[in-house]
Structure 1
């Protein structure tokens, strides 16, 4: 568990230093420049879907478990929900520790903001929550019909945040590492939580 936590923060640290590299802003500039109407609408929809999906999926699982009196599904809902919550807390804590400017603020001549955010840039909170949800679902339900759409949606969230002009690629990579890492660490946390909540 300690190794996993260290790995997540090490990867985040390494990625955070990549913003000094030209590839970070150059890649963002290219992705931000995808202005085809379909691409723009798709990315706008995906970006805005993140909080609803990340919160809605574990809540729907919990409500279904309650209605069916399914204790195993309820355990899965708690695991998925706490993975997303953990990623959110870690990502937003790091935002204010690093306090990185949004790309459209630092490079107003190269990045067009299709939306504006009030919080710092690094890491991407949307991407962290999306990858926490996708990873935790894939761990609990390792079937292709869960893995494929979960991975596609999480990756699309990351790309959409760059297309919107609100995140660098390094923000997105760090968010993905945090989200996936929190879901993995949460396997061990939930073993304790299940004993406390369910007695086994």
Structure 2
């Protein structure tokens, strides 16, 4: 989904010859790249064990070996949902985007691979990365427009 969404947005932009859609696709990719770097930096700096390693009664339902905090799946989902919501601020984009992202976070806890705090950390990291990318993109576009007036 994380790759499929910007690819779809980009293809729609190319078909419609709409620069806003193409720019939004690029913004989603950049937000996820920044998010990936932030998430893995936090994961290996904090180095928190996963719940199934700490509590033997929790079965490991998937093969996760990296540290637990923050949840990478959740951070990617929230980076994508926030990017989409900022690019297309309509309820019919925002609501399904965050329902999907929230479901990803819940599933990570249900699988026993994350604590609630890991998911919350992923939500903040992902949404923060997307918001930072959005603001950076606006600043770059504004600076570019001023130079080329």
Distance 2:117 2:84 in 1: 24
Q: Secondary structure at the match of 2:3?
A: helix
Deviation at 1:193, TM superposition (A): 5.0
Contact 2:86 2:134 in 1 (8 A): no
Contact 2:39 2:75 in 1 (8 A): yes
Residue 85 (structure 2) aligns with: 138
Structure 2's unaligned 5+ residue stretches are none
RMSD across aligned positions (CA):
1.7
Deviation at 1:69, TM superposition (A): 2.7
Deviation at 1:80, TM superposition (A): 1.6
Instruction: Tell which has more relative contact order, 1 or 2 (C-alpha 8 A, sep 6+).
Output: 1
Contact 2:13 2:19 in 1 (8 A): yes
Structure 1's unaligned 5+ residue stretches are 1-52
Distance 1:77 1:132 in 2: 12
Distance 1:89 1:193 in 2: 21
Distance 1:195 1:94 in 2: 31
Q: Comparing both structures, which one devotes a greater share of its residues to helix?
A: 1
Scaled by the length of structure 1, what TM-score is found?
0.68
Equivalenced residues, count: 145
Q: How does 1:118-133 map to 2 (within 5 A)?
A: 118-133=65-80
